[in-house]
Amino acid sequence: MLGEVNKRLTAEHVSQVEGIFQFDVTKPDGSMDHWTLDMLNGSGAVYYGLPRDGATANTTMSMSEETLRRWLSQETDPIAAFMAGELTVEGDQMMTMKLAVLQPIFNEASDAVASGATAAAAPAASPTKPVGSDVFEDVNRLLTAEYVALVGGVFQFDIAKPNGTKDHWTLDMLHGNGTMCVLPTTCCMRC
């Protein structure tokens, strides 16, 4: 879902928040993932890992994966999670109040993921759906700037259909958060 958040961030949001947040997220197996919400640079970014380029977080929020899911899916908010002991905050605690500016984005991202999951679970409505759609749409939802930084390339997949024609898919792992799309489309015009 954080990829969906990333798609919606703008420079206007950055000017309203002006800070870097680190999310330390404990997974069910006890291991921890780190995510960064950079609302200090450019149009903002969410990415997997610690703050980049020597930056430090103004605020570090630690929570379980379940608490993060509940927050981003509008089942709770950071203040309620903090009061319930499900969230700890280190650094500038007042910065968490600025996250309210981003709550509409979190809501939109949550709705987009929910509708995408519903669409992915539904059977194909049309026999003309491109071959590989289900797999490649799932890949597209999982792409992040972190993966783009690791890969740094553009790949084309030519998938043969039973009738002998081909669907052409492009995986752009060179720009932004990455994109997986079927051609012809405008999503890979940078490639």
Q: Which domains does the chain have, with CATH numbers?
A: 2-117 (3.30.1050.10), 133-183 (3.30.1050.10)
Contact 23, 53 (CB under 8 A): no
Q: What is the mean pLDDT of residues 102-128?
A: 63
Which of the two residues, 92 and 190, has the higher pLDDT score?
92
Identify the pLDDT of residue 191: 45
Structure tokens, 65: 């994966």
Most confident of 99-108, 127-136, 145-154: 99-108
Partners of 161 in the β-ladder: none
Task: Decide if pLDDT at 71 tops 90.
Answer: no
Task: Decide if pLDDT at 164 tops 60.
Answer: yes
Task: For residue 148, name the pLDDT band (cuts at 50, 70, 90).
Answer: confident
Single-letter code of the amino acid located at 71: W
Task: For residue 123, name the pLDDT band (cuts at 50, 70, 90).
Answer: very low
Task: For residue 75, name the pLDDT band (cuts at 50, 70, 90).
Answer: confident
Structure tokens, 112: 């987009």
Contact 108, 10 (CB under 8 A): no
Question: In angstroms, rounded to a whole number, what is the distance separating the alpha carbons of residues 144 and 71?
Answer: 20
* Mean pLDDT, rounded, of the chain: 78
10-62 pLDDT per residue, tens: 899 999 999 999 999 999 999 998 989 999 988 898 888 899 888 999 999 99
Identify the pLDDT of residue 171: 73
Identify the pLDDT of residue 136: 61
Identify the pLDDT of residue 90: 96
